[in-house]
Amino acid sequence: MIAIGSDHGGYELKEFLKTYLAGKGIEVLDVGCHSTESCDYPQYAAAVAEMIQEGKCEKGILCCGTGIGISIAANKHHGIRAALVSEPVSASLASEHNNANILCLGGRVTGNVLAAACVDAWLETKFAGGRHADRIAKMND
């Protein structure tokens, strides 16, 4: 299961990705927000991070206007490796090299088709381990 959340700036992209993932048979847990009414992204970053920390979800997706603020907020949580991406190569490398457990996207800067390609690349790419695992361990110390 993938946890998904957004603020108002990422709401429409979040809704698109929920439908897209469901169409691929992937179960999604939506932690909010639930409209385009102005709200604050840190609470949704925290909600997705907590789902991962508690083992309720293996991965998460977060969207805000640019993806920047929500990625910063998510990375404040222990054990979270949130990667802001804008194209599939970076999404793939976020998995392969960084074992990113949250993918962040910008609803105002990333179109639906490109966002779907990023999600696919991120989900389809396996973590390489090895020297990359050593680096992640250093971040967790």
How far is the C-alpha of 61 from the C-alpha of 47, rounded, in Å? 11
Q: If 0-12 CB within 10 Å is exposed, 13-18 middle and 19+ buried, where does residue 45 land? A: buried
Sign of CA dihedral 131, 87, 116, 101: positive
| Catalytic residue positions, numbered | 64, 97
Task: At 137, list the tokens.
Answer: 């361990």
